[in-house]
Amino acid sequence: MSELIIKTKQNLGKEDIDHIRKMIAHTATDDEFKTFIYLCRMYNLDPLKKEIYFIKYGGKATIITSRDGYLKIANLDKNFNGLESDVVYQGDIITKRDDGSLLITYGQEHLTFEKAKLTGAFCSVFRKDRAKATTVFVSIKDYYKKDAPIWQQYTNAMILKVAEAMALKRAFAISGLVTKEELEDDKKIDAEAL
């Protein structure tokens, strides 16, 4: 099994492959591990740098990356031309620009953070080869995890990461990878792998 992987990922030797399997994907079957290594290579993500993860979720192999993994993929693409993102509070006004991106006009509550209710976040990804931005808005009610301490402590950062990951994934047609927020039970994943 390792010989096949070495041929597809030339810069890794058998010892490196064995180390990745032991440290990152020790529960993987041979076929699951081949798929994991294929996606690492395809998207140029390094599992030892925690840019990509292998977990078993509900008995099935799941390959996860984060917003930072998606951002790395975008930064390696010659057509990536940046992104704009922000959180949205009640009272903010969002308008769509001609290029498909969103313009936010901050309400008074957003500027003072007093009694402002966070409603979500948006992200617009720009590519040099497209006239229109890929834009995503995500609602806090769809993603907020009240039982997850990181969501309680860093609510703005977490919802912003969700919006950015979704927009980057769509803008660069990234498939075969998911974020942990897309899965049903983050707590189980946190305990198992991350």
29 part of a folded domain: yes
CA 139 to chain centre: 16
Name the token pair of 55.
Answer: 């977990």
Q: What is the largest CA-CA distance in the chain?
A: 61
Same domain as 82, residue 51: no
71 part of a folded domain: no
Beta bridge partners of 55: 62
pLDDT value at residue 185: 54
Output Rg (C-alpha) for the chain, integer angstroms: 19
Distance from C-alpha of 65 to C-alpha of 125, rounded to nearest angstrom? 18
Q: What is the pLDDT of residues 155-172, one digit of tens each?
A: 999 999 999 999 999 999
First to last CA, the chain: 26
183 part of a folded domain: no
Distance from C-alpha of 36 to C-alpha of 70, rounded to nearest angstrom? 16
pLDDT value at residue 110: 66
Amino acid at 19: H
Residues 6+ apart with CB under 8 A from 143: 158, 159, 162, 181
**Could you tell me the residue range of the domain that residue 14 belongs to?**
2-65
Residues 6+ apart with CB under 8 A from 68: 51
Torsion sign across C-alpha atoms 82, 100, 123, 177: negative
pTM of model > 0.85: no
Same domain as 155, residue 96: yes
Same domain as 135, residue 87: yes
pLDDT value at residue 66: 86
Same domain as 118, residue 38: no
Q: What is the pLDDT of residues 91-142, one digit of tens each?
A: 999 999 999 999 999 987 766 666 678 999 999 999 999 999 999 999 999 9
Q: Are 177 and 65 in contact (CB under 8 A)?
A: yes
Same domain as 61, residue 111: no
Q: How many domains does the chain contain in total? A: 2
187 part of a folded domain: no
Same domain as 120, residue 59: no
pLDDT value at residue 180: 80
